[in-house]
Amino acid sequence: MRQPTVIAPSILSANFARLGDDVARVVSGGADWIHFDVMDNHYVPNLTFGPMVCEALRPFAGAAMMDVHLMVEPVDALVPSFAKAGAGLISFHPEASRHVDRTLALIREQGCQTGLVFNPATPLHWLDSVMDKLDLVMLMSVNPGFGGQTFIASTLPKLREARKRIDAYMRETGRAVRLEVDGGVKTDNIAAIAAAGADTFVAGSAIFGSPDWGSTIASLRAAAGLRPS
């Protein structure tokens, strides 16, 4: 029951001196979403950009959705700002919110889709009580904070487990939930990642570090395929 493949380039690996142009170019190269990594030097040991930059880039993204990945603590105060800045989906880490259910409700109230993000060592049991409030489950396949890290292999069995839970939920309710993977996704491992159940793929260094972003996106999409569930 995988959803159609989505490729979400992470602009963490774009050129920060010309972000608007890079967003427009990667969208014309076939990006479905723009993955926007927000880091606060508190929840993660790095610092990137906030809602003002998201708002400035939104017009350059055209039809591509802004997929805002919050690696910040606390979470709630930034949710309305990112909703106003044009986020389509806002995801956050459960460890960073005192009240996960409240944060999910807030994201929906603000008119955005919701995502819950699992670090490599975060157990999936957080899903037990909130699946009905989620539009997307995201598994980190690196520790959050930096682009260009190596894919952690234990993410594959974890993806299979998440896929099972999502499929059971979708069978029961008929409502679609996406399964996104973030970190170390490349043209040579995306087929195995898709086979483990992911349908939504973040790729930063693989796309922005390649000479032809459009052909890399096409290769990623072709290798991910769309297998029947």
Residues binding Zn ion (CB under 5 A)? 37, 69, 182
Residue 136 near residue 114 (C-beta atoms within 8 A): yes
Distance, CA of 198 to CA of 190 (rounded, Å) = 9
* 37 is a catalytic site residue: yes
Q: By C-beta, is 86 or 184 nearer to Zn ion?
A: 184
Binding mask 130-149 for ligand DX5 (x = CB under 6 A): ------------x-xx-xxx
115 sits near ligand DX5 (criterion: CB under 6 A): no
* 182 is a catalytic site residue: yes
Task: Tell me which H or E stretch contains 139.
Answer: strand 136-140
Least distance to ligand DX5 from the beta carbon of 71, Å?
6
Q: What is the DSSP annotation of 1-52?
A: -PPPPEEEEBGGGS-GGGHHHHHHHHHHTT-SEEEEEEEBSSSSS-B---HH
Catalytic residue selected from 32, 37, 135, 199: 37
Least distance to Zn ion from the beta carbon of 30, Å?
19
Which residues are the active-site residues?
37, 182
Interacting residues with ligand DX5 (CB under 6 A):
10, 12-13, 35, 37, 69, 142, 144-145, 147-149, 182-185, 202-206
